[in-house]
């Protein structure tokens, strides 16, 4: 039997001292006691304040731009427009530690001639105070002549559509051809076809974008900012015509990212204004700036046509996927790739046919968002499974059971997943935790819903992803970790301390971590793509192991034993064969120091490298590995008003190995709350390119009063590619939550709302329509 | 961006009335309660009255008294004060229900009753229950004092009979007597901190098997919170049968003229007026039998 076949065996249970426990994170005390500075807390003497002037219309030609009055305003230090830029564009591709040649996705930094979305920056101002900067914006004279725009993906694909991107508004497209769908459909007894749509949504992190820049004595532009990616220093340097070594990004602890702080945000404006004025410049976005100032989650339209045998086996899956890119590429090609790869879900399907495309419009541009397209795919395939179960008259869970991928099976792209696939276990555990459905009361109907998923973690393998990490031991035996990884609130730095601590026998709380400095900490890539722990955790593991090996060799000499008999715990070194033989860690370190034994290591971790999948068939490997699991939800729906109350919400995931169980649960809980909002209330509405929900009173994230207690069931197959067998969980916890809510609502009301979000009005109307139809 | 303004902090009501006496328009001196509406609007519009007069901090204006058959709340009474008052579930159950679904904890702690009425929003949640309870408001200025029934207070969208030199100082209603009950329901797009799509409140008093008082108030379905007078008339003096309740609900639906906005369509709002009026009438009458 394959040892990954069952969660129940427990045969590979191993004993860790710190790993896997629910520990207080190393970053918690600073936050709880208010000592942790965020990027917005930093100030400098002689600092200027910046503001951004944005286009008020979504599609226009700029016929006049006059900043003379703004420049003349006392207290204004600089006003920059496209005319002041050496290079007018900035890259928008995936930043990070990749050997991959960028796609041509550059975006204009400031409007040169055409405005392509509402909010596109036209000018930037630095002044002595925020008020003066704001006043200066009002003195800038801009004439914008409306140009016909295109505001939905259908119109944008018509031959006579205004061209927003390239010659045909096509930002990217892919195909997957596995088996022969016609053969598959011929073998089907029942064919089910449905279209599902999802909306634009906002990251809505607590901390809007903010940063402070200054030029130092070496002529380096330093930027302290709230970012998921210190590697954007390269794009900033390129956009300013500077050597990469002359731009330095220093992160701070981040107040939420969710993908929205992977792109360059305030950093480039700060760098340009710092260079222009020679003074430190601070730019903090208001909530409104944040709504207009960064890319959103892609809306998708996904059509599923699925063939089934009468007993519920999938015979063919034909999927058509369209995403809305907005006017610039940003992450759209990659997000579409994720959605395409994830298309048929965690099911074994022999005949797959997928066509996908990303289309440019003059609505807001879109970019990375937790789950990166696999989320939208899950919303479609999991609702489709429930609809199919209804048509087939087969229990929804049973239908999934008959089709789930098992360990060792090949996914839609033909790649055979090497790690454990425990979807079924997760599904059963989540459903069991849901318990009995309450009895309906008057207009209140109860519903249960489940969604299973497959989510890649780590980067697409053709990006050749790497991460570096450094571990060193001071002469007094204290341990330092250096990693370029940003800490976006998920416990990233804390986990690095825990990993180094486990291997060196030092408590994680006693380890100091330096992170997210693009010049002085080893570059580790972005905290995104559920790759942080996988990549940086492995880099730090490798570095800690190398240090440990050298220390163990010296300890073996001391004990007169062998290195593999030496163990490290509780700041002591001892022999496994005779634990009475001990030596304080710091004594061993002192010996090593005096003998010149190297007590530090810089390690690099390389993810599996590969080529693009076949462009004609979509066959090949996309991700290093995948996380699997399921989410179950119980709702009460008021069938007259359409209001939904989520009563229970349970995520069950095989995360390979928890490093910090409390942090894992935090990731699941946060992702689930975000999924609840995605399903029920969050929506950025663009009307002909104009955002009509530009504040948090119209854009409705769930509040604490909307959130039930979220339950986490964590399984550990120890089969992942991360440190100690961990898999990624940053995105997976979020992915199945929204479709599980949708399936629970559909179960409660006996009909389905096919377009997200499921507002009370849509639900009430669906119920009325179904009742009328009888 | 915030607008510039002066802030006056009076020591008591008399001084406040003196300060506002010279105000000719709301743009001269605007009373400031908890600021949860005013400050948000100032930021959104970048405009403020030249002077803000802090009345939310006047201690004499804060508190709930029950005496001589009336419940009287000072203007600076907060939404949390309503929730904390031990007798509120008896003397103003609809208001108590409304306070419980009002905004979130932080806003409830600072938002005042007068601010909720005077902001003039058709979606103001305390107003439907106050209308259902038959409340009146007291307006005071250096010129004197007058009492206006709440259903005569609003004159249109964000307009009222209040003069620029007047402060709303108190709200009161008769302690419900005999066999009576009231309810409120807020239909929002989420459970916390939501702007109401439809708010409905009903008050019914019964004697000898017939409805002797019927008040139905509707929020967020017209330019200001309104009474559904025709729907009330359907039940007044009658025994409330299922058919009559159904009829009253449809009449109420016909009485309102809600608009489409980003929260909901007018059609859905109308539909929900019917649903909620029927539901609240049923619940109220059931609780009386
Ligand atoms: C997050 C959030 C959630 C909210 N949720 C809700 C909700 O669920 N339901 C709801 O109804 N409202 C809600 N609101 C709106 C607001 O909180 C309420 O309308 C509140 O009652 C206003 O009271 P205030 O004391 O803060 O008024 P202020 O903002 O101080 O004043 C509001 C208006 O009343 C005037 N005013 C205040 N006091 C007097 C007085 N004594 N005499 C004359 N004029 C006066 C002011 O000049 C101003 O025009 C919410 C607001 C926020 C920010």
Residue nearest to atom 51 of ligand 1 (CA): B36
Q: What is the largest CA-CA distance in chain B?
A: 60
CA of A686 vs chain B CAs: smallest distance (Å): 11
Instruction: Please indicate whether, in this complex, the C-beta atoms of B190 and A700 are within 8 angstroms of each other.
Output: yes
Give residue B221 CA to ligand 1 midpoint distance, Å. Answer: 19
pLDDT for position A418: 95
Based on the fold, state whether residues A411 and A377 are members of the same structural domain.
no
Strand partners, A207: none
| Listed residues A373, A395, A417: the one ending a domain | A395
**Do the Cβ atoms of A126 and A281 come closer than 8 Å?**
yes
* Cα-based angle A230, A231, A236 (whole degrees, multiple of 5): 100
pLDDT for position A209: 98
Asked if residue A55 is part of any domain, the answer here is: yes
Asked if residue A32 is part of any domain, the answer here is: no
Q: Which of B33, B56, B117 to mutate to test the pocket of ligand 1 (most atoms within 8 A of CB)?
A: B33
**Do the Cβ atoms of B249 and B277 come closer than 8 Å?**
yes
Alpha carbons A225 and A231: distance in angstroms, whole number = 12
Q: Is the CB of B273 under 6 A from ligand 1?
A: no
Domain B179-287 sits in CATH at: 3.30.390.50
Q: Is the CB of B33 under 6 A from ligand 1?
A: yes
Based on the fold, state whether residues A622 and A715 are members of the same structural domain.
yes
C-alpha separations of A194 from A185, A191, A768, B188 in Å:
16, 10, 21, 30
Based on the fold, state whether residues A95 and A145 are members of the same structural domain.
yes
Which of A131, A695, A706 shows the shortest C-beta gap to B190? A706
Q: Is the CB of B60 under 6 A from ligand 1?
A: no
pLDDT for position A94: 84
For residue A42, give both structure tokens: 């930093």
Question: How many domains in chain A?
Answer: 3
Residues in chain A, how many? 774
All residues of chain A having their beta carbon less than 8 Å from the beta carbon of residue B1 are 130-131, 134
Q: Is the CB of B124 under 6 A from ligand 1?
A: yes
**Do the Cβ atoms of A513 and A251 come closer than 8 Å?**
no
Alpha carbons A746 and A759: distance in angstroms, whole number = 13
Under the phi-then-psi rule, with left for phi > 0, alpha for psi from -120 to 50, and beta for the rest, what region is A191? beta
In chain B, domain spans: 6-54, 61-174, 179-287
B109-165 residue pLDDT tens: 999 999 999 999 999 999 999 999 999 999 999 999 999 999 999 999 999 999 999
CA of B67 vs chain A CAs: smallest distance (Å): 35
Instruction: Please indicate whether, in this complex, the C-beta atoms of A134 and B1 are within 8 angstroms of each other.
Output: yes
B31-62 residue pLDDT tens: 999 999 999 999 888 888 999 999 999 999 99
Based on the fold, state whether residues A455 and A591 are members of the same structural domain.
no
Task: Give the number of C-alpha atoms closer than 13 A to the C-alpha of residue B198, restricted to the C-beta side.
Answer: 28
Helix (H, G, I), strand (E, B) or coil at A26: coil
For residue B88, give both structure tokens: 């509120």
Percent of chain B residues topping a pLDDT of 90: 95
Which of A130, A645, A703 shows the shortest C-beta gap to B193? A703
CATH topology (fold) of B61-174: 3.30.465
Asked if residue A389 is part of any domain, the answer here is: yes
Q: Are strands A48-54 and A121-127 parallel, antiparallel or unpaired?
A: antiparallel
Asked if residue A341 is part of any domain, the answer here is: yes
Q: Is the CB of B167 under 6 A from ligand 1?
A: yes
pLDDT for position A638: 98
Asked if residue A343 is part of any domain, the answer here is: yes
**Do the Cβ atoms of B103 and B21 come closer than 8 Å?**
no
Query: With 0-12 CB in 10 A as exposed, 13-18 as middle and 19+ as buried, what is A464?
Result: middle
| DSSP letter for each residue of A104-170 | S--EESS-SSEE-STT-EEEEEEESSHHHHHHHHHH-EEEEEE-----SHHHHTSTTSPPSSTTTSE
CATH number of the CATH domain containing A164 = 3.30.365.10
* Sole residue written with tokens 């980003």: B262
A380-402 residue pLDDT tens: 999 999 999 999 999 999 999 99
Strand partners, A489: none
Element (H, E) at B16: helix B13-20
Q: Identify which of A456, A428, A441 has the alpha carbon closest to the alpha carbon of residue A343.
A: A456
pLDDT for position A295: 97
CB atoms within 10 A of CB A310: 11
Q: Sheet containing A352-359: which strands, arranged edge to edge?
A: A170-178, A352-359, A314-324, A300-308, A190-197
Q: Identify which of B221, B220, B223 has the alpha carbon closest to the alpha carbon of residue B253.
A: B221
Alpha carbons A742 and A384: distance in angstroms, whole number = 11
* Cα-based angle B68, B69, B73 (whole degrees, multiple of 5): 85
Residue B21 pLDDT > 60, yes or no?
Answer: yes
Alpha carbons A551 and A91: distance in angstroms, whole number = 45
Asked if residue A727 is part of any domain, the answer here is: yes
**Do the Cβ atoms of A376 and A200 come closer than 8 Å?**
no
Q: Sheet containing A221-225: which strands, arranged edge to edge?
A: A76-80, A121-127, A48-54, A281-284, A210-215, A221-225, A247-251
Asked if residue A723 is part of any domain, the answer here is: yes
Based on the fold, state whether residues A599 and A650 are members of the same structural domain.
no
Asked if residue A594 is part of any domain, the answer here is: yes
For residue B43, give both structure tokens: 């930021």
* Sole residue written with tokens 């003096």: B237
Q: Identify which of A522, A516, A427 has the alpha carbon closest to the alpha carbon of residue A471.
A: A522
**Do the Cβ atoms of A738 and A675 come closer than 8 Å?**
yes
Mutant choice from B189, B196, B273, B275 vs A, greatest count of A C-beta within 10 A: B189
Based on the fold, state whether residues A56 and A166 are members of the same structural domain.
yes
Based on the fold, state whether residues A431 and A522 are members of the same structural domain.
no
Under the phi-then-psi rule, with left for phi > 0, alpha for psi from -120 to 50, and beta for the rest, what region is A593? alpha
Which residues of chain B are at the A interface, by a Cβ-Cβ cutoff of 8 Å?
Answer: 1, 40, 44, 104, 187, 189-195, 197, 262-265, 268, 271-272, 275-276, 279
| Listed residues A395, A425, A452: the one ending a domain | A395
Mean pLDDT for back-to-back runs of 10 residues, chain A (774 residues): 45 76 96 96 98 98 98 98 96 74 78 98 98 97 98 98 96 97 98 98 98 98 97 95 97 96 96 98 97 98 98 98 96 96 98 98 97 98 98 98 97 96 98 97 97 97 95 97 97 98 97 98 95 97 98 98 97 97 98 98 97 95 98 98 98 98 97 98 98 95 96 98 97 98 98 98 98 91
Residues in chain B, how many? 289
Host domain of residue A438: 1-6+404-460+618-774
Based on the fold, state whether residues A374 and A440 are members of the same structural domain.
no
Query: Would you tell me the crossing angle of helices A661-680 and A737-749 to the nearest 10 degrees?
Result: 50
A to B CB pairs, distance under 8 Å: 56
Based on the fold, state whether residues A371 and A293 are members of the same structural domain.
yes
Instruction: Please indicate whether, in this complex, the C-beta atoms of A703 and B264 are within 8 angstroms of each other.
Output: no
Q: Quote the pTM value.
A: 0.97
Alpha carbons A744 and A746: distance in angstroms, whole number = 5
Query: With 0-12 CB in 10 A as exposed, 13-18 as middle and 19+ as buried, what is A517?
Result: buried
Mean pLDDT of B178-187: 97
pLDDT for position A7: 45
B223-234 residue pLDDT tens: 999 999 999 999
CA of A699 vs chain B CAs: smallest distance (Å): 10
Instruction: Please indicate whether, in this complex, the C-beta atoms of A703 and B190 are within 8 angstroms of each other.
Output: yes
Q: How far is CA A571 from the centre of its chain?
A: 36
Alpha carbons B222 and B220: distance in angstroms, whole number = 6
**Do the Cβ atoms of A63 and A142 come closer than 8 Å?**
no
β strands within A608-687, DSSP E: 625-638, 644-654, 686-687
Give residue A53 CA to ligand 1 midpoint distance, Å. Answer: 31
For residue A406, give both structure tokens: 């098992």
CA of B275 vs chain A CAs: smallest distance (Å): 7
pLDDT for position A99: 54
All residues of chain A having their beta carbon less than 8 Å from the beta carbon of residue B44 are 695
Give residue B107 CA to ligand 1 midpoint distance, Å. Answer: 9
pLDDT for position A11: 42
Alpha carbons A664 and A8: distance in angstroms, whole number = 21
Q: What is the mean pLDDT of chain B?
A: 96
Instruction: Please indicate whether, in this complex, the C-beta atoms of A640 and B279 are within 8 angstroms of each other.
Output: yes
* Sole residue written with tokens 């649903």: B275
What is this model's ipTM? 0.97
| Listed residues A574, A606, A638: the one ending a domain | A606
Ligand 1, residue B127: give the atom nearest the CA.
11
Which of A697, A706, A759 shows the shortest C-beta gap to B191? A706
* Sole residue written with tokens 């007169």: A560
Q: Identify which of A459, A268, A297, A292 has the alpha carbon closest to the alpha carbon of residue A369.
A: A297
Task: Give the number of C-alpha atoms closer than 13 A to the C-alpha of residue A140, restricted to the C-beta side.
Answer: 28
Q: Identify which of A452, A396, A454 has the alpha carbon closest to the alpha carbon of residue A420.
A: A454
**Do the Cβ atoms of A332 and A390 come closer than 8 Å?**
no
How many contiguous H segments (helices) and E segments (strands) does chain A have?
18, 30
pLDDT for position A14: 65
């Amino acid at each position: 039997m394959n040892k990954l076949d069952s969660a129940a065996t427990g045969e590979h249970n191993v004993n860790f001292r710190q790993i896997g426990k629910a520990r207080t994170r190393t970053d918690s005390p600073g936050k709880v006691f208010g000592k942790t500075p965020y990027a917005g807390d930093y100030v400098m003497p002689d600092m200027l304040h910046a503001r951004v002037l944005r286009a008020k219309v979504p599609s226009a030609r700029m016929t006049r731009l006059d900043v003379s009055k703004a420049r003349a305003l006392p207290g204004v230090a600089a006003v920059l427009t496209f005319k002041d830029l050496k290079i007018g564009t900035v890259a928008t591709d995936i930043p990070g530690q990749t050997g991959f040649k960028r796609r041509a996705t550059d975006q204009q930094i400031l409007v040169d001639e055409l405005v392509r979305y509402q909010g596109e920056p036209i000018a930037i101002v630095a002044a002595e105070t925020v008020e003066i900067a704001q006043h200066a914006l009002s003195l800038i004279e801009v004439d914008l002549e409306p140009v016909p725009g295109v505001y939905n993906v259908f119109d944008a694909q018509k031959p006579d559509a205004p061209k927003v991107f390239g010659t045909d508004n096509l930002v990217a497209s892919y195909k997957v051809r596995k088996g022969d769908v016609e053969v598959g459909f011929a073998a089907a007894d029942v064919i089910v076809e449905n279209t599902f749509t999802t909306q634009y949504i906002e990251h809505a992190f607590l901390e809007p974008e903010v940063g402070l820049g200054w030029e130092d004595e070496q002529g380096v532009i330093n930027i302290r900012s709230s970012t998921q990616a210190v590697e954007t220093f390269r794009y900033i340097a390129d956009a300013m015509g500077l050597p990469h070594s002359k731009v330095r990004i220093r992160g701070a602890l981040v107040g939420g990212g969710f993908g929205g702080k992977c792109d360059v945000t305030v950093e480039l404006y700060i760098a340009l204004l710092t260079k222009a004025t020679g003074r430190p410049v601070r730019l903090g976005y208001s909530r409104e700036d944040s709504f207009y100032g960064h890319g959103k989650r892609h809306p998708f339209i996904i059509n599923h046509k699925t063939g089934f045998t009468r007993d519920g086996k999938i015979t063919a899956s034909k999927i058509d996927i369209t995403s809305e890119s907005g006017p610039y590429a940003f992450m759209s090609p990659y997000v579409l790739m994720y959605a395409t790869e994830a298309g048929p879900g965690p099911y074994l399907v022999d005949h797959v046919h997928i066509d996908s495309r990303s289309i440019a419009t003059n609505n807001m541009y879109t970019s990375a968002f937790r789950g990166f397209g696999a989320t939208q795919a899950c919303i479609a395939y999991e609702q489709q499974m429930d609809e199919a179960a209804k048509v087939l008259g087969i229990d929804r869970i049973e239908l999934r059971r008959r089709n789930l991928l098992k360990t060792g099976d090949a996914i839609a792209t033909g790649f055979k997943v090497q790690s454990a696939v425990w979807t079924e276990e997760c599904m059963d555990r989540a459903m069991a935790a849901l318990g009995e459905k309450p009895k309906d009361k008057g207009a209140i109907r109860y519903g249960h819903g489940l969604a299973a998923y497959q989510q890649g973690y780590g980067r697409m393998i053709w990006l050749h992803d790497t991460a570096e990490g450094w571990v060193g031991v001071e002469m007094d035996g204290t341990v330092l970790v250096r990693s370029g990884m940003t800490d976006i609130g998920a416990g990233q730095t804390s986990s690095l301390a825990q990993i180094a601590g486990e291997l060196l026998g030092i408590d994680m709380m006693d380890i100091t971590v330096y992170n997210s400095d693009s010049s002085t900490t080893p570059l580790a890539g972005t905290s995104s793509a559920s790759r942080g722990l996988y990549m940086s955790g492995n880099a730090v593991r490798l570095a800690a192991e190398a240090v440990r090996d050298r220390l163990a060799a010296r300890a073996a000499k001391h004990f007169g034993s062998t290195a593999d008999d030496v163990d490290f715990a509780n700041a002591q070194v001892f022999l496994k064969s005779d634990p009475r033989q001990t030596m304080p860690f710091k004594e061993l370190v002192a010996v090593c120091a005096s003998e010149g034994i190297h007590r530090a290591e810089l390690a690099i971790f390389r993810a599996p490298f590969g080529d693009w999948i076949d462009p004609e068939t979509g066959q090949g490997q996309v991700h290093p590995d995948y996380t699997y699991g399921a989410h179950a939800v119980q709702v009460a729906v008021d069938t007259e008003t359409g209001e939904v109350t989520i009563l229970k919400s349970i995520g069950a995931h095989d995360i390979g190995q928890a490093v910090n169980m409390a942090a894992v649960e935090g990731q699941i809980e946060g992702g689930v709350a975000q999924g609840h909002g995605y399903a029920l209330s969050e929506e950025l509405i663009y009307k002909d390119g104009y955002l009509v929900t530009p504040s948090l009173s119209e854009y409705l994230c769930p509040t604490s009063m909307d959130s039930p207690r979220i339950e986490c069931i964590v399984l550990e197959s120890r089969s992942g590619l991360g440190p100690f067998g961990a898999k990624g969980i940053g995105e997976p916890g979020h992915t199945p939550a929204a479709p599980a809510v949708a399936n629970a609502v559909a179960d409660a009301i006996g009909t389905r709302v096919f377009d997200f979000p499921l507002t009370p009005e849509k639900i009430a109307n669906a119920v009325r329509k179904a009742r009328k139809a009888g | 961006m915030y607008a510039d303004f002066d802030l006056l902090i009076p020591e008591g009501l008399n001084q406040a009335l003196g300060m506002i006496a010279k105000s000719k328009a709301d743009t001269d001196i605007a009373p400031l309660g908890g600021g949860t509406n005013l400050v948000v609007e100032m930021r959104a519009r970048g405009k403020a009255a030249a002077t803000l007069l802090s009345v939310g901090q006047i201690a004499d204006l804060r508190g709930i008294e029950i005496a001589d058959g009336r419940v009287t709340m000072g203007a600076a009474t907060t939404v949390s004060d309503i929730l904390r008052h031990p007798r509120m579930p008896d003397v103003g159950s609809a208001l108590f229900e409304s306070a419980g679904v009002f905004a979130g904890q932080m806003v409830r702690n600072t938002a005042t009753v007068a601010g909720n009425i005077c902001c003039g929003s058709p979606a103001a949640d305390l107003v439907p229950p106050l209308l259902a309870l038959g409340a009146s408001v007291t307006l005071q200025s250096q010129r004197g004092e007058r009492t206006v029934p709440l259903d005569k207070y609003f004159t249109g969208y964000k307009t009222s009979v209040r003069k620029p030199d007047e402060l709303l100082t108190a709200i009161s209603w008769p302690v419900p007597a005999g066999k009576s009950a009231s309810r409120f329901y807020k239909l929002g797009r989420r459970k916390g901190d939501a702007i109401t799509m439809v708010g409905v409140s009903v008050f019914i008093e019964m004697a000898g098997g017939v409805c002797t008082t019927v008040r139905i108030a509707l929020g967020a379905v017209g330019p200001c919170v309104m009474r559904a007078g025709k729907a009330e008339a359907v039940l007044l003096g009658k025994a409330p049968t299922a058919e009559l309740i159904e009829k009253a609900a449809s009449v109420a639906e016909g009485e309102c003229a809600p608009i489409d906005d980003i929260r909901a369509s007018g059609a859905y709002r109308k539909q929900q007026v019917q649903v909620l009026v029927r539901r609240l009438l049923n619940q109220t009458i059931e609780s009386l039998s």
